[in-house]
C-alpha cells in the first residue's frame, strides 16, 4: 500500500485518505455561461502529468493539496491548502436578486 | 524408503504421525510433508493433471509446481509437497473419477488431438447455442478440487509489522544481508518460507564431500542467533510487493502486513524441468527435489536413477543419490564438453557413466502407466535436435538439473526489469526499483561465496552503511550458450506447462495462429496461467514462443508478473471478517423491548417493536397520532458550526438563507451538489449569533462534513466545523401528549406553544441531562427532538419512557416513522430522490433562496430550469384503494413509454388507504390527473395525483 505524506499527520497509509479530485477553479458563480458551468462540473482534464489534487485525511478531517504524477503515481509534494488559498474568498453579490431562478427567501 | 540419519534434517523420527491418503492409512514423521511421507511409503502418484488426467507426482518438492494438488477436507488445492502432516490428517487426490489410481477419465487423453490449443474458444463459439450443450460436461470436468460451499469461515487474522530492512529469503545471501544490515542498529526482519534457514545449502551439494554447505549454514545461524535486532520469520511466505514496500507475509492463518524502509530480495532461483516426451511421469523430478527428499526428509527417491544436467549441479545430485544408496545408471550431460568440476570427477571416479552431449528423447512408463520405467537418451545435434542413434536406460527416477530461473516475482511486482539473457540462458534481473536490492541466486549469482558477499553488500546499502564493495566474483562470460533442454517429439506429449497439459505443439500452434507475443500466447493457450504461475514453465514457454515467432530471445520479457507469488487463501485476505456496525446509545433498550432491528447505513436501528410486524406498525403509528411515541433518532448527523462567519458559511452550503435567522429558531436545510442534485437535508438550529447546530440525514453526516471542510479550506471563512454525530444520542418524542410528558421532566423552559413554538430550539436540561431541544416535526405531530451526550442516551430514554408511562407511551421504529412522514408528504433524500433529482422536480423551489449569489447547485439548477422540467414528484392515491398495491420502483407507464416511477408507497393506517409518492411527467402532475403504474405481473394499476400532505394539510397538529 502506498504511503501519503500528510502535511498534518505525517507519513500514513493511503487507505486513511480520500482523493477529492483535481484542484479546479470555479467559474464566476453568477456570470458564468451554462457551458462554462457544465464544463466545470462535468469535465475532467485527466492529464497524464503532475496534477494538483485535493486529499482528505479522513479521521482528522484535514484537506490538503498533493501534487501527484498521474502516470507514475508518484507524489511529489503535499502542502496545506492555505498555500493555494491564502485569504478569504467572497462571491460577487447579485445585481438584481429577483432575476434569479425560482424560490424565495 | 527412509534413509538413516543424518539424512532427514527436518524430520523427528521420535514423533511418528499417522494420516490417510485416499482413505489408506500411512505413517510419517513430524516435519514431513504429505508428499515426503507418501514417498517414504513408496507412494508417488499424488494427483491427476487438469486436462488429460495424466498421473502426476513430485516435481519440485518446494511448492513451486501444481503437480501435487490435493484436497484436505473441505479445502481444495493444497500442495502436498509443502503441506505438513499431522495426526488424523485426511488427504485425497484431486481431479479424477472413481479412484486416483484407476481414474475413469483417463480416456480424455485419447482424444487429445480433438482438444487443440484454444479448444474452448473454438469449440463453444459456433454454432450459436452450442455452449448450452457442452456447458454441463465442461463444468463437471473443469476446475480444480472441490469447493464445499458449506465450509465455515475459519479463524484468520492480520497483523502489522514494521522494519527498516526486510530481507525476503533466508538462504545464505539473505542471511548475510540481514547480518550486515543489523550492524547499522536498524530493525531487520528476515522472512523464509521453509521451516529452516539456509536455503539451497540445506540440500545442495556444493563440494565433493557434501560438508561445506551445512557448515556454512551453521556458521551463519550462529551469528544470527547473536544478533539482537533481527526478527526471523520461518514458514512465512512473502506473497507480493506493493507500493512503498508494503509486503504481505502469510504465516499459517495470519497475514502480516509488513512495511519496510528497504527490501532485500534474496528469494533464490527455481530449478527448471526439461521438456521431452512423457516428461511428466511420476518418478521424474527436479534434481533439487530429489536432494530435498534425501537430505531434508530422509527419503530414498528411487532405486535406479538417471540424472540430466548441464555440468556442475547435476553431478552433486548424482553423488547424493549414490550416498543415499540409489544406483545411478547414467548422467545425461547436455553440455557439449565436460566442465572442469571436482564433483564431475568424483562422479566419474565412483563409476557413473556420463553421456556427454546427450539429450532426452523420451521417457517410458511402467505397464500401469503411473511411474517412470526408463528413458531414451540420444546425442544432441542441434538446438532441440537429437541424433538417430539412441540409448535406452531403465530407471525409476530421473533427476532434471537442467537450469534455473530467478525467483524474481517481487522484483517484477515492483516494476523492476526481468528479461531473458543469453549469457545465463535464463531470465535475469536487469533493474530493480527504488528502495530494493537483490542478492544471491535471484540476481544470477550461483557461486556461494559470491552470493554471500553480494548479500553483505546489499545489507550494507539497505541500512545506509558505506557498502565498501568488494568486487563480486562472477562466473566467466565466455561460456558457450548451452543447448536448450527442449526436445520436441514427433508423437508429442512433451509438456511445457504441467498445470494445463500444454505441449511444444500447443505453443507452436498458438504462434502459428498468429499469437506471436508471449502475452497473447498466454491468453490463447493458458500457458503460465495455472497454479504454478509459470515458475516451472515460463522460461521454456518464452524460448519456444520467441523461436517460433522468429524474435530475439535476448532482452525478451516473460508475461507480466502480478501478486500473489504463491496462492493466498480467501481467509487470509478477509481476515477476521469484521463487519463493523454502529449501535446507538439506546441499543440495549430496543433489544429489551423486543425490537426487530434493521440495517440503516452503518447503523442498526429498530424497525418495529414486537413479533407481529403488521400489528406493530398499526399500533406504533396510531400511538403517535393519538397519544405519544418515542423514537431513537441518534443516527441523524449532528454538526456544530461555530464562528463569526457561521451564517455566511451555511448560506453558501445550503439553499435557504440563514443570515437573518433568529437565535432560538430552527430552519430547514437542503443541500445540493454543484450539478444541482439534492444530496442532503436537515435543520439548522441557531443557538447564538455565531453558533448553529445542523442536523443531517442518517448516513449523510460524513459526506456533508467532508464537503463543508473541503469548501472552507478554499473560502477561508472564520468558522469551525465539528462533527458531533458519534458523540450524541437523540430521540424524537411525538404525539399530542408529547408536551405533557416533557413537562414532567423538563421544567427549565416554558414548553407552552406560545413560549416554545414550532421550529423553536432551546438549550435545556431534560431529566437533568443537558440537551438541545428542537421543536421539529418530521412525523407531523407536536414533538421534540432531544439531542444529548451519547453517554446519557440510555438515561434519557428511560426518563422519557418512565414519564410517559402514565400516558401509555410506546417506542416506535423506523418503519412506523416512514409511514408517518409519508402521510405528511415529507420526502426522504435518496429514497424519493435519485442521483439526478433537482429541487424543482421535488417541489422544493420554495427552499431556494433568490437573494444569494451562490449556494451549491444554484448555477446548475438555473441552467436546468431553462430546459424545463422533465419530471415531477407528486403524491398519489389509487383508484381502487382495496386493489393490489404497486411497490417502490414500479414504473409509471404511458402509451408504452416510461414517464416515472413510484418512490414511496404504503397503506396509511391513519387514513386507511394507500398513499404514495411518484415521479411522473410534468403534464401528468396536476391534482386529480390519473396515471398508470405497472405493478406485479405487468398488471396496470390506476393512480390519481393527490395533494400533499395527505394528513393534516393545514399542519395544525405539529404546531399545537
Helical residues (DSSP H) of B669-813, grouped into ranges:
701-715, 738-745, 793-804
Burial (Cβ within 10 Å: 0-12, 13-18, ≥19) of residue A28: middle
> Given pLDDT bands bounded at 50, 70 and 90, which one contains residue B467?
low
Average pLDDT over residues A97-104: 47
Q: Which of A89, A103, A105 is the best substitution to test chain B (most B C-beta atoms within 10 A)?
A: A103
Band of residue B94 on the pLDDT scale cut at 50, 70, 90: confident
Q: Are A29 and A91 in contact (CB under 8 A)?
A: yes
Instruction: Give the 3-state secondary structure of B852-905.
Output: CCCCCCHHHHHHHHHCCCCCEEEEEEECCCCCCCCCCCCEEEECCEEEEEEEEE
Distant-in-sequence contacts of B542-547, Cβ < 8 A, 24+ apart? B542/B420, B542/B518, B543/B420, B543/B484, B543/B486, B544/B486, B544/B496, B544/B504, B544/B507, B544/B508, B544/B511, B545/B507, B545/B510, B545/B511, B545/B516, B545/B517, B545/B518, B545/B521, B546/B420, B546/B518
Report which of B310, B314, B397 is spatially closest to residue B359, judged by C-alpha positions.
B310
Cell of residue B440, nine digits:
544471491
Nearest-Cα distance to chain B for A97, in Å, is 5
What is the SS3 string spanning chain A?
CCEEEECCCEEEEHHHEEEEEECCCCCCCCCCCHHHHHHHHHCCCCCCCEEEEEEEECCCCEEEEEEEECCCCCEEEEEEHHHCCCCCCCCCCCCCHHHCCCCCC
Query: Can you read off the three cell numbers belonging to residue B607?
Result: 424497525
**What DSSP designation does B103 have?**
B
**What's the pLDDT band for A67 if we cut at 50, 70, 90?**
very high
CB pairs under 8 A between A and B: 106
Mean pLDDT value across chain B: 93
pLDDT digits (tens, 9 = 90+) for B362-415: 999 999 999 999 999 999 999 889 999 999 999 999 999 999 999 999 999 999
B269, three cell numbers: 532461483
> Model-level pTM?
0.86
Q: Per the structure block, which three cell numbers stand in for B411?
A: 522484483
- DSSP-derived 3-state class of residue B297: coil
Nearest-CA residue of chain B relative to A92?
Answer: B853
Could you tell me what percent of chain B has a pLDDT over 70? Answer: 98
Cell numbers placing B399: 533427476
| Residue B224: all three cell numbers together | 544470527
Tens-place pLDDT, residues B503-528: 999 999 999 999 999 999 999 999 99
Q: Is the pLDDT of residue B557 over 80?
A: yes
Strand partners, B16: B29
Give the list of residues 6+ apart from residue B753 with CB closer than 8 angstroms, or none.
B959, B960
Q: How confident is the model at residue A105 (pLDDT cuts 50, 70, 90)?
A: very low
Cross-chain Cβ contact B657/A54 below 8 Å: no
Lowest-confidence range among B446-455, B535-544, B909-918? B446-455
Confidence tier at B478 by pLDDT (50, 70, 90): low
Mean pLDDT for B103-118 is 74
Question: In chain A, what residues touch B655 (CB-CB under 8 Å)?
Answer: 103
Q: What is the torsional sign of CA A81, A85, A86, A87?
A: negative
Q: Are strands B603-609 and B595-600 parallel, antiparallel or unpaired?
A: antiparallel
Q: Cβ–Cβ contacts within 10 Å for residue B379, how many?
A: 17
Where b means 16+ CB within 10 Å and e means fewer, B728-743 reads: bbbbbbbbbbbbbbbe
- Closest listed residue to residue B586, CA positions, set B766, B789, B809, B771: B789
Pairing, β B254-265 against β B157-168: parallel
Per DSSP, the three-state class of B66 is coil
The ipTM of this complex is 0.94
* Rounded Cα distance, B252 and B770, in Å: 52
Residues of chain A found within 8 Å of residue B853, distances taken between Cβ atoms: 29-30, 91-94
Nearest to B890 by CA among B880, B876, B911, B910: B876
Q: Which of A30, A38, A101 sits opposite B865 (nearest CB)?
A: A101
CB B531 within 8 A of CB B499: yes
Q: What is the 3-state secondary structure (H, E, C) of B83-96?
A: CECCCCCEEEECCC
Contact assignment for A91 to B854 by CB distance below 8 Å? yes
Residues facing A18 on adjacent strands: A56
What values do phi and psi take at B394, rounded to 5? -75, 135
Mean pLDDT within B863-888: 95
The SS3 call for residue B466 is coil
With beta carbons under 8 A apart, name residues in chain A contacting B674: 40-41
Nearest-neighbour CA in chain A from B702: distance (Å):
9
> Distance (Å, rounded) from C-alpha B628 to C-alpha B450?
85
| Phi, psi (deg, nearest 5) at residue B453 | -65, -40
Q: Looking at B556-707, which runs of residues are DSSP E strands? A: 582-583, 595-600, 603-609, 629-632, 637-642, 666-672, 678-688, 691-696
Q: Is the bond preceding B949 in cis, omega lying within 30 degrees of 0? A: yes
Q: Which residue has the cell 450539478?
A: B675
**B interface test, pick of A21, A24, A26, A102 with most B CB neighbours within 10 Å:** A102
Residue B662 DSSP class:
P
Instruction: Give chain A positions within 8 Å (CB) of B649.
Output: none
Contacts of residue B252, defined as CB under 8 A and 6 or more positions apart, other chains included, come to: B235
Chain A closest-CA separation from residue B562 CA (Å): 15
- In this predicted structure, the answer to whether residue B471 has a pLDDT above a threshold of 70 is no
Nearest CA in chain A to B846: A103
Kindly report the length of chain B. 960
Collapsing DSSP to helix, strand or coil, B513 comes out as coil
**% of residues, chain B, pLDDT over 90:** 84
Distance CA B801, CA B731 (A): 11
Strand, coil or helix: B208: coil
Tell the residue number behind the cell numbers 540424472, with chain if given.
B307
Chain centroid to CA B648: how far? 46
C-alpha atoms less than 13 angstroms from C-alpha of B558 in its C-beta half-sphere: 32
- Average pLDDT of span B698-710: 94
Contacts of A1 in chain B (CB under 8 A): 242-244, 246, 257
Closest CB to A29: pick one of B242, B850, B853. B853
* Residues of chain A found within 8 Å of residue B852, distances taken between Cβ atoms: 94
Q: What is the pLDDT of residue A104?
A: 40
Convert the pLDDT of each residue in B792-813 to its tens digit: 999 999 999 999 999 999 999 9
How far CA B467 is from CA of B224, B451, B453, B456, B493, in Å, comes to: 20, 15, 11, 8, 50
Amino acid at each position: 500500500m502506498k504511503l501519503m505524506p500528510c502535511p498534518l499527520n505525517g507519513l500514513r497509509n493511503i487507505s486513511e485518505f480520500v482523493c477529492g479530485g483535481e484542484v479546479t477553479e470555479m467559474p464566476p458563480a453568477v456570470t458564468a455561461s451554462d457551458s462554462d458551468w457544465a464544463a466545470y462540473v462535468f469535465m475532467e482534464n485527466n492529464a497524464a502529468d503532475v496534477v494538483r489534487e485535493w486529499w482528505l485525511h479522513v479521521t482528522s478531517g484535514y484537506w490538503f493539496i498533493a501534487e501527484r504524477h498521474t502516470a507514475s503515481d508518484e507524489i511529489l509534494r503535499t502542502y496545506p491548502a492555505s498555500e493555494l488559498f491564502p485569504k478569504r474568498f467572497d462571491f460577487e453579490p447579485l445585481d438584481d436578486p429577483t432575476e434569479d431562478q425560482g424560490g424565495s427567501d | 524408503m527412509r534413509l538413516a540419519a543424518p539424512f532427514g534434517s527436518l524430520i523427528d523420527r521420535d514423533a511418528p504421525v499417522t494420516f490417510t491418503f485416499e482413505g489408506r492409512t500411512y505413517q510419517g514423521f513430524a516435519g514431513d510433508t504429505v508428499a515426503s511421507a507418501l514417498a517414504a511409503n513408496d507412494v508417488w502418484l499424488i494427483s491427476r493433471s487438469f486436462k488429460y488426467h495424466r498421473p502426476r507426482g513430485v516435481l519440485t518438492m518446494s511448492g513451486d509446481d501444481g503437480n501435487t494438488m490435493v484436497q484436505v477436507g473441505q479445502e481444495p488445492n493444497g500442495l502436498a509437497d509443502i503441506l505438513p502432516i499431522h495426526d488424523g490428517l485426511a488427504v485425497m487426490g484431486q481431479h479424477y473419477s472413481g479412484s486416483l489410481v484407476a481414474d475413469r477419465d483417463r480416456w480424455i487423453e485419447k482424444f487429445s488431438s480433438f482438444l487443440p490449443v484454444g479448444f474452448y474458444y473454438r469449440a463453444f463459439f459456433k454454432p450459436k447455442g452450442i455452449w448450452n450443450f457442452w456447458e454441463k460436461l465442461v463444468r463437471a470436468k473443469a476446475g480444480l478440487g472441490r469447493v464445499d460451499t458449506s465450509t465455515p469461515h475459519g479463524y484468520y487474522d492480520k497483523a502489522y509489522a514494521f522494519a527498516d530492512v526486510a530481507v525476503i529469503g533466508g538462504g545464505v545471501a539473505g542471511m548475510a544481508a540481514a547480518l550486515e544490515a543489523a550492524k547499522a542498529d536498524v530493525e531487520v526482519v528476515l522472512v523464509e518460507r521453509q521451516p529452516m534457514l539456509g536455503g539451497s545449502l540445506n540440500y545442495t551439494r556444493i563440494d565433493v564431500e557434501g560438508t561445506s554447505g551445512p557448515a556454512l549454514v551453521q556458521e551463519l545461524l550462529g551469528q544470527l542467533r547473536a544478533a539482537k535486532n533481527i526478527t526471523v520469520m520461518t514458514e512465512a511466505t512473502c506473497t507480493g510487493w506493493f507500493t512503498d514496500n508494503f509486503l504481505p507475509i502469510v504465516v499459517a492463518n495470519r497475514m502480516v502486513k509488513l512495511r519496510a524502509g528497504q527490501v532485500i530480495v534474496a528469494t533464490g532461483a527455481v530449478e527448471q524441468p526439461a521438456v521431452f516426451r512423457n516428461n511428466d511421469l511420476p518418478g521424474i523430478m527436479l534434481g533439487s527435489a530429489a536432494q530435498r527428499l534425501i537430505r531434508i526428509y530422509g527419503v530414498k527417491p528411487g532405486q535406479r536413477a538417471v540424472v540430466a544436467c548441464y555440468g556442475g549441479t547435476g553431478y552433486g545430485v548424482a553423488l547424493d543419490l549414490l550416498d543415499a544408496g540409489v544406483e545411478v545408471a547414467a548422467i545425461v550431460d547436455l553440455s557439449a564438453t565436460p566442465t572442469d568440476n571436482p564433483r564431475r570427477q568424483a562422479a566419474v571416479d565412483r563409476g557413473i557413466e556420463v553421456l556427454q552431449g546427450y539429450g532426452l528423447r523420451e521417457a517410458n512408463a511402467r505397464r500401469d502407466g503411473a511411474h517412470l520405467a526408463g528413458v531414451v537418451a540420444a546425442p544432441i545435434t542441434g538446438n532441440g535436435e537429437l541424433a538417430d542413434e539412441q540409448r535406452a536406460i531403465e530407471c525409476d527416477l530421473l533427476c532434471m538439473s537442467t537450469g534455473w530461473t530467478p525467483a524474481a516475482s517481487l522484483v517484477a511486482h515492483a516494476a523492476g526489469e526481468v528479461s531473458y539473457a543469453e549469457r545465463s540462458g535464463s531470465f535475469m534481473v536487469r533493474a530493480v526499483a527504488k528502495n530494493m536490492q537483490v542478492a544471491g541466486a535471484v540476481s544470477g549469482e550461483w557461486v556461494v561465496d559470491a552470493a554471500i558477499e553480494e548479500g553483505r553488500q546489499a545489507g550494507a546499502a539497505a541500512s545506509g552503511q558505506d557498502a565498501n564493495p568488494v568486487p563480486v566474483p562472477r562466473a566467466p562470460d565466455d561460456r558457450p550458450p548451452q543447448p536448450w533442454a527442449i526436445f520436441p517429439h514427433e508423437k508429442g506429449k512433451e509438456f511445457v506447462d504441467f498445470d494445463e497439459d500444454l505441449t511444444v505443439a500447443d505453443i507452436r500452434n498458438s504462434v502459428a495462429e498468429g499469437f506471436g507475443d508471449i502475452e497473447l500466447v498466454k491468453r490463447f493457450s493458458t500457458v503460465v496461467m495455472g497454479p504454478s504461475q509459470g515458475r516451472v514453465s515460463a522460461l521454456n514457454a518464452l524460448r519456444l514462443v520467441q523461436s517460433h515467432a522468429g524474435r530475439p530471445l535476448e532482452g525478451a520479457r516473460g508475461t507480466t508478473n502480478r501478486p500473489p507469488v504463491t496462492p493466498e487463501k480467501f481467509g487470509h485476505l478477509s481476515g477476521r471478517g469484521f463487519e463493523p456496525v454502529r449501535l446507538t446509545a439506546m441499543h440495549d433498550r430496543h433489544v429489551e423491548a423486543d425490537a426487530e432491528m434493521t440495517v440503516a447505513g452503518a447503523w442498526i436501528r429498530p424497525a418495529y417493536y414486537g413479533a407481529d410486524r403488521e400489528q406493530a406498525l398499526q399500533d406504533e403509528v396510531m400511538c403517535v397520532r393519538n397519544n405519544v411515541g418515542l423514537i431513537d433518532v441518534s443516527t441523524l448527523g449532528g454538526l456544530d458550526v461555530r464562528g463569526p462567519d457561521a451564517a455566511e458559511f451555511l448560506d453558501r452550503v445550503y439553499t435557504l438563507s440563514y443570515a437573518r435567522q433568529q437565535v432560538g429558531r430552527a430552519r430547514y436545510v437542503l443541500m445540493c451538489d454543484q450539478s444541482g442534485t439534492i444530496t442532503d437535508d436537515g435543520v439548522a438550529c441557531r443557538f447564538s449569533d455565531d453558533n448553529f447546530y445542523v442536523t443531517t440525514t442518517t448516513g449523510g453526516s460524513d459526506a456533508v462534513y467532508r464537503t463543508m471542510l473541503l469548501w472552507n479550506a478554499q473560502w477561508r471563512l472564520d468558522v469551525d466545523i465539528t462533527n458531533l454525530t458519534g458523540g450524541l444520542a437523540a430521540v424524537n418524542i411525538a404525539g399530542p401528549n408529547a408536551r405533557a410528558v416533557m413537562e414532567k421532566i423538563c421544567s427549565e423552559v416554558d414548553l407552552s406553544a406560545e413560549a416554545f413554538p414550532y421550529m423553536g430550539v432551546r438549550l435545556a436540561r431534560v431529566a437533568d441531562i443537558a440537551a438541545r431541544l428542537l421543536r421539529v416535526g418530521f412525523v407531523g405531530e407536536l414533538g421534540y427532538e432531544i439531542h444529548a451526550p451519547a453517554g446519557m442516551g440510555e438515561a434519557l430514554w428511560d426518563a422519557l419512557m418512565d414519564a410517559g408511562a402514565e400516558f401509555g407511551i410506546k417506542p416506535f421504529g423506523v418503519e412506523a416513522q416512514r409511514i408517518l412522514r409519508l402521510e405528511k408528504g415529507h420526502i426522504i433524500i435518496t429514497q424519493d430522490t435519485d442521483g439526478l433529482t433537482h429541487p424543482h422536480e421535488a417541489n422544493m423551489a420554495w427552499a431556494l433562496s433568490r437573494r444569494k449569489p451562490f449556494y451549491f447547485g444554484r448555477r446548475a439548477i438555473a441552467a436546468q430550469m431553462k430546459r424545463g422540467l422533465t419530471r415531477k414528484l407528486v403524491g398519489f392515491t389509487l383508484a381502487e384503494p382495496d386493489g393490489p398495491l404497486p411497490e417502490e420502483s414500479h414504473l409509471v407507464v404511458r402509451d408504452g413509454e416510461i414517464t416515472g416511477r413510484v418512490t414511496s408507497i404504503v397503506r396509511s393506517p391513519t387514513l386507511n388507504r394507500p398513499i404514495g409518492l411518484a415521479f411522473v411527467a410534468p403534464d401528468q402532475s396536476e391534482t386529480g390527473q390519473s396515471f398508470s403504474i405497472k405493478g406485479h405481473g405487468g398488471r396496470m394499476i390506476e393512480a390519481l395525483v393527490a395533494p400533499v400532505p395527505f394528513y393534516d394539510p393545514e399542519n395544525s397538529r405539529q404546531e399545537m
